Amino acid sequence: MRVIDPQEVLEVVSQYVDLEDPERDLPDRDIIIGIGQELAADYVMYGSTIVGKYGSILTGKILSVKSGGTISTIEINMLDVINALAAESNIASWTIIGADPPFELMQNRRNIFPKHPSNIKEKKTPLGALWRSTVAPGWGQFYSNKRAMGYAFSSIEGLLFGLLLFNLSQYALAVNNLNNTAKLYNAETDPDEVLRLRSETIGYWNAHNSYNKAMISTGYMIGTVWAINAIHAFIFGPRPQKYIHGPEPYSQ
């Protein structure tokens, strides 16, 4: 993942926000998305600080520049940060003597960030991807930024639907020809013409059966690919990273 040069970011942001004003408000969400588009970024992270009775809360959001949706939201209590920093000196002391720090000290460090997926607020979910792909093949994949698979499933279903419509049109044509030829056959008295019409009638009958079977097979294929597409969307749907701060070597 490419991180954009901070100086470049400041130059663009300064066009929309007075960076010299200490009491400035956050720009509107649309402006933030526009800044991300101007920087050719995939995601934009921004935040604000709320000072409360029991300390300050730092709230941050990650937005998708392409969709405009909120990828994740995180809230950090500054008291947790202070406690974690205070614990660092104790952790360093244990490291100096060559011993493993107690779990409680390491926990203070890790409390700065949510550790488990249930603690990370996600706007996009596997269920969101599932119902979208159930409605329209490929939609859930685009929702999850799996664009290659989104194009693949939508293209395959498009081809299968095209094949289904072709078989349907040929089936309707064969049935129409069968009915017309059958009427001529029933009204004909010339033996030679009767034989010719009989042969044509059998041909149209076989054709209508063939296209009918092709429609049924194509319908099964459409349903199968549609189901695979929905299952794929759920399995590979957006999920929070389990340990956003790195490996988790400590446990009780």
For 6-39, write each residue's pLDDT tens digit: 777 778 777 777 777 766 677 777 888 788 888 8
The mean pLDDT value for 187-215 works out to 89
The pLDDT of residue 81 is 65
The two structure tokens encoding residue 56: 């300050």
Nearest to 238 by CA among 130, 155, 116, 119: 130
Banded model confidence at residue 151, pLDDT cuts 50, 70, 90: very high
pLDDT exceeds 50 at position 75: yes
Amino acid at 41: A
The pLDDT of residue 108 is 60
pLDDT exceeds 70 at position 252: no
Q: Determine the Cα–Cα distance for residues 105 and 226; give it in Å rounded to an integer.
A: 50
CB-CB contact of 185 with 194 (8 Å): yes
The pLDDT of residue 105 is 67
Q: Determine the Cα–Cα distance for residues 3 and 5; give it in Å rounded to an integer.
A: 7
The mean pLDDT value for 47-58 works out to 67
Residues in the chain: 252
Percent of the chain with pLDDT over 70: 72
How far, rounded to the nearest angstrom, does the alpha carbon of residue 51 sit from its chain's CA centroid? 35
pLDDT exceeds 60 at position 122: no
The two structure tokens encoding residue 202: 């059998």
The two structure tokens encoding residue 87: 């614990």
Percent of the chain with pLDDT over 90: 29
CB-CB contact of 238 with 144 (8 Å): yes
CB-CB contact of 109 with 244 (8 Å): no
Banded model confidence at residue 217, pLDDT cuts 50, 70, 90: very high
Banded model confidence at residue 211, pLDDT cuts 50, 70, 90: very high
Residue 79 or 198, more confident:
198
Burial 121-146 (b: 16+ CB within 10 A, else e): eebbbbebbbebbbeebbbbbbbbeb
